[in-house]
Amino acid sequence: MPGGVRTEWLAETDSTNEEARRRALAGERGPLWIAARRQSAGRGRRGRQWADLTGNLYTTGLFVLDAKPGEAAQLSFAAALAAAEACEAVIDRERVRLKWPNDVLIGGKKVCGVLLESGSAPGGGLWLAVGIGLNLASHPRDVERPATDIAEEGGVLSQDAALERISSSFSAWLERWRTHGFGPLRDAWLARAWGIGEPCIARLQDETLEGVFADLMPDGALRLDMANGQRRLISAGDVFFPGIPG
């Protein structure tokens, strides 16, 4: 593994993010990628359940950073880029896109999600859990937005190969972020962006907004240009593009 990054496979766990949290609070400082063949209580963003389907990748990278939580949150884009690059190894790159804030799509259908969690690390610093769920061999059918998996899209990627590609790619993006800030991540993300310039609906915790996805700001926020001339910067929420097929 690059840069001394370790990987560990578990036959089963409740959640790789939860396992990373337990390890961090027990003093593990990483970098370490924990992967499981099965999860009994996987979760996604906003507390949603993440389906446990045979043959998919469930993994969490554990890191300790000298950074504030808001700064570390930018690494969700690094995780999405790493997962996208793993997909691009076996799928036509033109079909792989990124949807704000950190979903990976193939042909407009979700193939991967990212969940970041963090807290104060024993001994100092911020522990960061970078959770990634990548549909390799199967995908859920009863979801609000269409989903897919790499096998259905014509690609072949094993759990072990996917973990190797993601951990290696994430290490490279992490180093760029540490050296050059968010700029390189933003540029690479925008090159794969889904829905730039398109009408969208942003569901926030307390309100729902409609407008055009105008830009990705230098801190990772989505700029929403609304019909009344207002501009809103959105740092957290769910975004949907009803005008785009798929």
Residues 183 and 203 in one domain: no
Enclosing domain of residue 231: 199-240
Residues 142 and 185 in one domain: yes
Q: Identify the residue whose tokens are 């240009």.
A: 225
Spatial contact of 50 and 42, defined as CB atoms under 8 Å apart: yes
pLDDT tens-place string over residues 172-193:
999 999 999 999 999 999 999 9
pLDDT at 205: 87
Residues 176 and 229 in one domain: no
Residues 91 and 208 in one domain: no
Residues 106 and 17 in one domain: yes
3-class DSSP state for residue 151?
A: coil
Domain of 164, CATH number, reads 3.30.930.10
Q: What is the DSSP string of 35-52?
A: EEEEESS-B-GGG-B---
Residue 246 lies in a domain: no
Domain of 225, CATH number, reads 2.30.30.100
Residues 180 and 203 in one domain: no
Residues 203 and 112 in one domain: no
Task: Reply yes or no on whether the pLDDT at 243 is more than 90.
Answer: no
Q: Identify the residue whose tokens are 């690494």.
A: 75
Predicted TM-score (pTM) of this structure:
0.92
Strand partners, 39: 13
Our count of domains for the chain comes to 2
CA pair distance 91, 106, nearest whole angstrom:
8
pLDDT tens-place string over residues 77-123:
999 999 999 999 999 999 999 999 999 999 999 999 999 999 999 99
Q: What's the Rg (C-alpha) of the chain? A: 17
Residues 121 and 173 in one domain: yes
Task: Reply yes or no on whether the pLDDT at 50 is more than 70.
Answer: no
Residues 27 and 90 in one domain: yes
Residue 245 lies in a domain: no
Q: Which residues are CB-neighbours of 138 under 8 A, at least 6 positions away?
A: 53, 54, 55, 56, 149, 151
Residue 216 lies in a domain: yes
Phi/psi at 185 (5° precision): -65, -45
Residues 100 and 162 in one domain: yes
Find out whether the peptide bond into 101 is cis, omega within 30 degrees of 0.
Answer: yes
Residues 183 and 227 in one domain: no
